[in-house]
Amino acid sequence: MTYDEEVFPEPWKFRPARWLQENSKDLNGFLYPFSRGTRSCIGQSLSLAEQRVAISQMVRRFSPRKGMQFREIVGKEYVTYVMEDKLPVMLEEAR
């Protein structure tokens, strides 16, 4: 699907800007960074483990800024979770 020229013009070219275009929200349904099944990404487990480590290090080293309002995150789940709006996070170094 990610190489379908009707969805992604020039699919074999590295063009990260394609996700910044005005119609980029229309492409979210086609975003499968790891794929599924027998042809899924061999590095998926490593990537997810690295993300957990990075997030845990951020949580350990930083705290939410005082007065920050927490709210429920709105998004859609495809193969991966895609947030529908921005999540403002303000951090300060933990004490």
Q: Kindly write down the DSSP assignment for every residue of 43-90, as one continuous string.
A: THHHHHHHHHHHHHHHHHHEEEPTTPPP----EEESSSEEESS-----
pLDDT of residue 76: 65
Residue 62 φ then ψ, to 5°: -130, 160
Model confidence over 74-92: pLDDT tens digits? 766 655 666 677 777 777 8
Distances 84 to 10, 48, 90 between C-alpha atoms, Å: 26, 21, 19
pLDDT at 88: 73
Q: What is the pLDDT of residue 64?
A: 79
* Residue stretches of the chain with pLDDT short of 70: 1-2, 19, 23-24, 27-33, 35-37, 75-83
Which residues make up each annotated binding site?
Answer: 41
Question: Domain residues of the chain, as ranges?
Answer: 1-31, 35-93
- Alpha-carbon distance 42 to 62, whole Å? 32
Instruction: Give the global pTM.
Output: 0.41
Q: What pLDDT does residue 23 have?
A: 67
Could you list the residues known to form a binding site for heme, using ranges: 41
- pLDDT for residue 49: 92
